[in-house]
Structure 1
């Protein structure tokens, strides 16, 4: 009897059989909610929707995407940190997840959540951000942009998904290296900021390549540089900041799935197995992310935990350099 129980537990933990041994029956027994802490249209949303569709095929249950924006991602992230740890509420997070609690401390507030309230499950994508300007703008290179910014300190605006968000931190790295002063305009998420850039009410934006690609191809936006160590597929003609003489300007906007920390280990592993299967075998997911210019860069287990820890430490140092934003 003991041997059979051990075997059942091992198989369940590996995601090879449903958690039928539990009194509540097989997991998942109902819809699984994926929270995006930003409005539709941003990088997290662009990743979450095809990922949720792929997970529906794996789980055999609906996986609705719920946009819960507010405070640059704090509201939605905190809601998952406080959610019931039953595996039915997950967060599709951005790299700002680890930055926002530190930003709250800098502003003298008690963080709405801390990273140790969430369990890292898997990374889906990891893309360098891209510096975008309207195609109608006068800047055709970073050199022209920097020269104009030095002539008119504080006159050129840039948007972000909120104070200390990934898009804000990326631009702060660039402006600090270039020695320029821009006007920061925070939005509720990357989607609204991108809309403002397209409408001409913003001058510049650091964006994930996924949401930007179609607009660049259509000639509505111009990409001046990227924050990667190498050029981005789909943006092969766009130089990196490192190429342009800014060796410290390197930044990646990644998407990853997190669960409340107390979620049972077998359920966490079921999520990892499902995400791994979706990313490795689901052609619909792969095509959707490739078309969006944000290819799969899957990582889970100890590798993702280490990546998340190291990336968060680096970004927290950048936020501490930014300091208090009035």
Structure 2
């Protein structure tokens, strides 16, 4: 017997034992098909809002063989949740319900944003768009956009518009309105919609851009008057409200949008599996009906469409923010 055969003979039992030894949890997870454990979807806002609602719909309807857990991490305009996901391991077990603030606006407002809105994320699904709606207190003598513009020009700087805060979607929508209409509505920022809306209902501010789902109850009750929708097309949730674009502000579009992102450098097969299942869920007729009833427009577009939309939005809002001189609080 040669020396090499003797060595192999001595090693054979040890090799057999090694092959039969159970895998460690980390090794088992690495070799198991995705997903092999619960998936966490981070929402950078409190429970009850539109991003949270969409995340919970996905958690309820998804069929990936593992549960989806919704983690609310509110703070810093959604940036806390964004940072959590940007720094997570790119294995598909941590994703987020992001959107216009975290993935198109905040990068132009916060100079020390703890993540790159594009490089640190992998696009998964463009879920929905939510139009903003321009509403006024009933005491304001304007029943359409043209009348509001005329009133604002007759009283420069006297009409106010409230927002949930600096850099929010309603804020940049208001600054776009100022620029395109050639007027100066005075911005009054609040710390959240819960503070801004009572001020509007009480007549302390004249107008505001509000998310359509949030504003619809007050509109239907006659507590505020809707002048126009910020999407290019009328909303199926409120088809009687004309768009700003059809009232003379051609091309005006300032929708809030929601999308699912994973950490950057997500493996393509994991990204594709998450995208396919999320697209299936948000294409279900009952889910789309539920979304429209809440004032959301279903989109359910895949990673490439989401990436293109994000690039377009970043460029658009960077110009509005720069021209308006918007700075963080």
> Which TM-score applies when normalising by structure 1?
0.80
- Which residue number corresponds to residue 133 of structure 2? 130
Name the CA distance, whole Å, in 1 between partners of 2:29 and 2:90.
15
Name the CA distance, whole Å, in 1 between partners of 2:315 and 2:231.
18
Residue aligned with 2:225, SS: strand
Name the CA distance, whole Å, in 2 between partners of 1:187 and 1:84.
35
Name the CA distance, whole Å, in 2 between partners of 1:160 and 1:81.
28
Please tell me whether Structure 1 or Structure 2 has the larger radius of gyration of its CA atoms.
2
Name the CA distance, whole Å, in 2 between partners of 1:225 and 1:210.
14
Unpaired runs of 5+ residues, structure 2, are: 1-26
Name the CA distance, whole Å, in 2 between partners of 1:33 and 1:299.
21
Q: CA deviation at 1:117?
A: 0.5
Q: CA deviation at 1:303?
A: 2.1
Structure 2 CA distance for partners of 1:49 and 1:192, relative to 1, 3 Å = farther
Work out whether 1:53 is the aligned partner of 2:60.
yes
The one of 74, 81, 97 aligned to 1:76: 81
Q: CA deviation at 1:114?
A: 1.0
Structure 2 CA distance for partners of 1:52 and 1:206, relative to 1, 3 Å = farther
List aligned pairs for 1:1-326, cutoff 5 A: 23=30, 25-55=32-62, 58-96=63-101, 97-105=103-111, 110-115=112-117, 116-135=119-138, 137-190=140-193, 193-194=196-197, 197-198=200-201, 202-281=205-284, 283-325=285-327
Name the CA distance, whole Å, in 1 between partners of 2:276 and 2:56.
19
Name the CA distance, whole Å, in 2 between partners of 1:143 and 1:41.
35
> Which TM-score applies when normalising by structure 2?
0.80
Name the CA distance, whole Å, in 2 between partners of 1:185 and 1:70.
20
More off after superposition, 71-80 vs 182-191: 182-191
Residue aligned with 1:312, SS: helix
Contact kept in structure 2, 1:85 and 1:264, CA below 8 Å: yes
Q: 1:65-124 deviations in whole A, cap 9, x for unaligned? A: 33323232222222221223232222211222222112123xxxx222111101111101
The count of aligned residue pairs is 300
Q: CA RMSD in A?
A: 2.7
Q: CA deviation at 1:241?
A: 1.6
Q: 1:183-225 deviations in whole A, cap 9, x for unaligned? A: 3233455565446545655432222322222332233332111
Structure 2 CA distance for partners of 1:160 and 1:153, relative to 1, 3 Å = same
Unpaired runs of 5+ residues, structure 1, are: 1-19
